[in-house]
Amino acid sequence: MERLSNRVMLVSGAASGIGKAVALACLKEGASVVGFSMEEESGITNPHFVYCSGNVSSPSDCKKAVETAVRWFGKLDGLVHCAGITREGDLESMSLDMFKSVIDTNLVGTFVLCQAAIGELKKQPSTIVNISSNMAVKPIPQRVAYNPSKAAVNMLTECIAVDYAPMVRANTVMPGIIDTPMIQQRLAVSEDPSALRQAYADLYPLKRIGTADDIVKAVLYLSSEDSAWVTGIHLPVCGGDR
C-alpha cells in the first residue's frame, strides 16, 4: 500500500540532493507534491508534481508555495523542509554577514516556511519534517554558524510539536555526511578523493557515508501513519555517530 496516498506534500530544496530524492519518493508513495527551491527548474516531470521557484527565507515566496499546493491539489497535509546551506569558519574567520546568511537560510527559513504552511496544515492531521543535522548535537571545528543554526532548528521543531499537537506532528531528521552533489563536488576538488571519502566513512561505526535514500526512508516514516504516535523527536540518521 502507498504510504502517502491522497496526501499533499510541500518539499523544499526539491531541485537537487536530499530534497529532490524526497520529492520523488513522496510521488512514488502516492502523494501529490509541490516542489520549492531556489533553482528555476526541478527536473521532475510528473502529473502529480508542481514546482515553485523561490527563497525559503522570503515570506511571500513561502506563501506562494503553500497557495500553489491548495490551488492545484485542494489542501496541504505534509511539509518536508530540506533546504539549507553550510559555511566553514570560527569566530575569527567568519564574517558577521556570512554568519547571518547561514542563520537566515537554515533557521529563519525554517520558521518562515513552517509559519506560511501551518494555517493549512492544522486543518487536518498533518506532518512537518525538518531536515536538521547530527551537528545540531555534536559540535565540530569550523562550524560556528552551521551547528548553532541546526540546534535551533531542533528546538523550533519541538516548539511547533507542542503548540500544534494533536493536529500537526513535527519532527526532525538529523543526517550525517550524505553523498549528495555538494559532497561529490568537495571530493572532486580534493587532492585524494578516495582518501577523503574513506576518511568520511571512518567517522561512522557503520563505515560508510549516507545516501539520499537513507534520509528518504526516515522522512517517509515520519511523514506517514507508521509514526502516528511520534512527535517532537530528532531522528539521527548518521551511521551510529555520537
Query: Can you tell me the distance from the alpha carbon of 40 to that of 103, in angstroms, rounded to the nearest whole number?
Result: 23
Note the pLDDT of residue 121: 98
Residue type, 222: L
pLDDT, tens only, 228-241: 999 999 999 999 98
- The mean pLDDT value of the chain amounts to 96
> Which 8-state DSSP code applies to residue 230?
-
Residue 146: active-site member: yes
Residues contacting residue 201 through CB under 8 Å, at least 6 positions apart = 207, 208, 209
Nearest Cα neighbor of 176 from 148, 152, 206, 153 is 206
Average pLDDT of 147-154? 98
Q: Is it the case that residue 151 has pLDDT exceeding 90?
A: yes
Average pLDDT of 201-225? 96
Cell of 70: 491548495
Note the pLDDT of residue 137: 96
CB 30 within 8 A of CB 100: no
The DSSP secondary structure of 129-191, one letter per residue, reads EEE--GGGTS--TTBTTHHHHHHHHHHHHHHHHHHHTTTEEEEEEEE-SB-SHHHHHHHHTSS
pLDDT, tens only, 5-36: 999 999 999 999 999 999 999 999 999 999 99
* CATH number among 2.160.20.10, 3.40.30.10, 3.30.1330.120, 3.40.50.720, domain 8-177+211-237: 3.40.50.720
pLDDT > 70: what percent of the chain? 100
Note the pLDDT of residue 182: 80
Q: Which of 146, 164, 200, 204 is catalytic?
A: 146
pLDDT > 90: what percent of the chain? 94
Residue type, 203: L
pLDDT, tens only, 167-209: 999 999 999 999 988 888 888 989 999 999 999 999 999 999 9
Per the listing, cell 571519502 goes with 197
CB 50 within 8 A of CB 70: no
To 5 degrees, how large is the angle CA 152–CA 126–CA 156?
10
Question: Given pLDDT bands bounded at 50, 70 and 90, which one contains residue 242?
Answer: confident
CB 90 within 8 A of CB 141: yes
Cell of 97: 554577514
Sequence ranges of the domains in the chain: 8-177+211-237
Nearest Cα neighbor of 23 from 40, 58, 48 is 48
pLDDT, tens only, 26-67: 999 999 999 999 999 999 999 999 999 999 999 999 999 999
Note the pLDDT of residue 28: 98
Note the pLDDT of residue 183: 87
Note the pLDDT of residue 100: 97
pLDDT, tens only, 91-106: 999 999 999 999 999 9
